[in-house]
Amino acid sequence: MSVRATDRAVARSSPGFSLFELIVVMLIVAIAGAFVVPGITSGWRSREIRQGTRKIAGVMRALRERAVRRGVEQVLVLDPDGATFRWTDGQQASLPDSVAFIGVRGGWRDPDGSARVIFYPNGGSNGFGVIVADRSGVGLQFAVDVEPLLGAVTIREVRG
């Protein structure tokens, strides 16, 4: 049985990928992954920082509203560990693991190092501000401020 020239041409042009083509594709995927993975992790950290900021601001707003509605002072305490906070009725919450309070301004300090903000029945507060950021203190940071006269809670991005 003899093999004709046209049969050999068909055999050489069969569909499929050569080893070289597969290696080139793998190299392109590896290079793309090297650029994408850092973006994913920084996006994840950014999301956690934003989530922690909204969490503490939400608790502050709720305590201010509760103080006005009930006519009784409401107290928020930020623990010195930099990540947990508790309030008047014994409830407590924590920031995500990679997020912490890296700076506190105003309020009152307890002997154990915790910071205390008080919301008064007239809607005011003792004035307070906290910076929420990655535990390293590098990158995205937000300031949560409590205005003393009206007790309004605001969030702003801090450029550092």
Predicted confidence (pLDDT) per residue in 68-117, tens digit: 999 999 999 998 777 899 998 889 999 988 899 888 888 888 898 889 99
Which domain covers residue 71, as residue numbers? Answer: 18-158
Per the structure, the count of domains in the chain is 1
Does residue 56 sit within a domain?
yes
**Alpha carbon of residue 120 to chain centroid:** 29
Domain of 117: which CATH number? Answer: 3.55.40.10
Does residue 1 sit within a domain?
no
Average pLDDT of the chain is 85
pLDDT at residue 81, as a whole number: 77
Closest CA to 96 of 32, 146, 47: 47
pLDDT at residue 82, as a whole number: 75
Does residue 68 sit within a domain?
yes
Burial of residue 149, with CB atoms counted within 10 A of its CB: 0-12 exposed, 13-18 middle, 19 or more buried: exposed
Does residue 12 sit within a domain?
no
pLDDT at residue 11, as a whole number: 55
Coil/strand/helix, residue 99: strand
Q: Which band of pLDDT confidence, cut at 50, 70 and 90, is reported for residue 8? A: low
> Dihedral sign, CA of 63, 75, 133, 104?
positive
Q: Which band of pLDDT confidence, cut at 50, 70 and 90, is reported for residue 33? A: confident
Question: Residue 133's CB: how many other CB atoms inside 10 A?
Answer: 24
Strand order in the sheet with 128-134: 99-106, 128-134, 141-146, 153-158
Does residue 4 sit within a domain?
no
Does residue 96 sit within a domain?
yes
What's the pTM value of the predicted model, to 2 decimals?
0.72
